[in-house]
Amino acid sequence: MINYFLRCLGKTQLALALVLFSVCTLSVAQAESLSALHVNGLEDGVRLGEHFQVWHDIEGKADLADAIAAYRLDKFSRLPSKGSTGLQPGAFWSVFYLHNDSDKPITLNLEYVDHQLIYLNAYQRNTNDPSFLEIADLALNNSFSERLVSHQRFVVPVELAAGETHQFYFRFGSDEKGFVFPDLRIWQPDKMHYVQSIELGSIAFLVGGLALMSIISLVTGIATNDKTYYAYFVYAATKLATWPTILGFTHMFFIREDFHWSYMSLTGAMSIMTGVIFARIFLQTKVNTPRLDYVLRFMILNAALLAVAALTRETVFSVVLITIALLLYPMLAIASLIRWYQGSRESAVYTLGWTVLIVGLFSQALRDLGLVEHTFVTYYWPVVASYSEMMVIMVAMGIHLFRLRRLKEQAELRYRSQLERAKQELEILVSERTHALEVAKSEAEREARTDPLTGINNRRSFMAKAEAMFDSCRNRSHPMTMLMFDIDHFKKINDNHGHAAGDKALKKFANTLESEIRDGDVLGRLGGEEFGLALYADLDTAERLRSAVERIYVNTGVVQIRFTTSIGIALMQSEENIEQLMSLADHALYEAKDSGRNKAVVANVA
């Protein structure tokens, strides 16, 4: 019996040894297959590429511990497609490592590459520390102000000390089913904001173009009383709402609270519905292609059901209906081809427009299915295709308008009075547009005098108003005081808490000063954290303002930032211009900073 027990014990030890050997071998294999991506803080949108692996949590209920266990069991693998998981239920986890090659700590922004995501959770640990820290808990329906970085897509800021390697787990989730692109872009924060500004400018350009086309169509519709142009106006207006909503800009600028993914489906449904209605009117399918017209009516019904599904937030039903809508889109091009064959020349151009849109939507489908890579080109191609489609249709409508004009010219005597009335209406519209432009010009001039961040006078406006006060005081022998402000250690606020916190500090500082001064005083931002205040002689004001600034704070959501200000004071005496008075105040400001900060110093003119 003892020998049998010893033999069993030996077999058990051997089995344990084999298990330990297998675990070690698995760990080594994982380490070899998932190498760290080396970064240095200068990244300009580099993708994780082959440096991450994913795991599909089908039920969407796994937590971090489950993901770590799955990784240890080698359940993570490389994404088999070119970027998309396809339409899948549950959630996807990704794991990757980043190594800081530089000799100093760096801050990076990790940007999710697409807008089609409902939830994102992120965890980080130093490879020398077994414990993970949750660094992001983002959701599409959360307030936009809760975003860690103000961006239309999910962005997670991370910090890496010099020479350290950090492991990350990211969880990407959708409601019930959705498309996930588990790759990330890595940015140096300033570079990301620069690219974001280009995106914003481009979308603003496209939206402005759509708005202009819709206005032109509306004006033309009023002038010609042709319902085709009214239909196009509504179609363009829905696209004005659709693409900014789908791409995240509506959540970023307009609906910052209680945003829901269903808004994307709703605006998309309205765009499809109005587009098909416009096609029926423009191509006159009810008369010229009656059988095909039944298909277009079904498309309108399908879009209406999609809108209802969006309002009731039925995820699966919405996905099925949008898929049907996309599959039926080519019917519009077929209808226009038939009308072209029947002799409608504008239908040929219309065919081109819808073909461009269909190609764009097809490229989106290929991207969502993971058959083509997810890049900025494939991401924005559907948007550009949609814009191009509207422009081409505008050309087709121009041809249509030209034909109508020729018909009207043949009946000029009969409709002269009607055309004169239309002319007067157009003149009124032009006059109203001119008035609107004049109002816009006045608003632009006001903005040119205002600092966009703080809302107070900018340097140019401040100098002009302060110089006028200087001349008035000198001519009337009235006393005048110039105060120069500088926020103490402002660079540390930006470095330690980010530029967003720095901007909040500047606005809070300006608002505090503005609330403490009189109506006749002139306050302005001269640049950076430097401000100027011109007022009639009152030495007590400087200390009162310094004390007021000392009491304010900025809430970043994590910590409360308090700061102080140094003030330079110069009293007008024999100075010849405002620049000399400001120079004296500036020297006094430097004395205040050199002597310890958080104080007001009067310039010595002796």
Tokens 């949750």 identify what position? 134
The DSSP element (H or E) to which 197 belongs, if any, is helix 189-224
What residues contact 51, with CB distance under 8 A and at least 6 apart? 34, 35, 36, 37, 96, 97
Q: Does domain 459-602 have CATH number 3.40.50.2000?
A: no
Across the chain, what does the average pLDDT equal? 85
**pLDDT value at residue 587:** 95
Write the pLDDT tens digit of every residue in 104-118.
999 999 999 998 889
CATH of domain 33-187: 2.60.40.2380
| Distance in angstroms (rounded) separating the CA atoms of residues 556 and 396 | 53
What are the backbone angles phi and psi of residue 560, rounded to the nearest 5°?
-100, 125
Is the pLDDT reported for residue 24 higher than 50? no
The DSSP element (H or E) to which 560 belongs, if any, is strand 560-562
Write the pLDDT tens digit of every residue in 239-264.
889 889 988 999 899 999 988 888 88
Mean pLDDT to the nearest integer, 70-81: 92
Four-residue CA torsion sign, 109, 112, 115, 117 = negative
HSE at residue 441, side-chain half, CA atoms within 13 A, is 6
| Distance in angstroms (rounded) separating the CA atoms of residues 9 and 378 | 62
| Distance in angstroms (rounded) separating the CA atoms of residues 585 and 172 | 55
**pLDDT value at residue 179:** 85
Concatenating the DSSP letter of every residue in 65-87 gives HHHHHHHHTT--B--SSSS---E
HSE at residue 93, side-chain half, CA atoms within 13 A, is 23
What the block records as the tokens of 297 is: 């009516």
Is the pLDDT reported for residue 27 higher than 60? no
pLDDT band for position 81 (cuts 50, 70, 90): confident
Is the pLDDT reported for residue 84 higher than 90? no
Write the pLDDT tens digit of every residue in 358-381.
787 777 778 887 888 888 788 887
**pLDDT value at residue 411:** 66
Q: In this structure, are strands 44-47 and 37-39 parallel, antiparallel, or unpaired?
A: unpaired
Mean pLDDT to the nearest integer, 434-454: 81
Percent above pLDDT 70 for the chain: 92
Write the pLDDT tens digit of every residue in 194-203.
999 999 999 8
Is the pLDDT reported for residue 508 higher than 60? yes
Tokens 């005098």 identify what position? 449
Tokens 């986890």 identify what position? 93
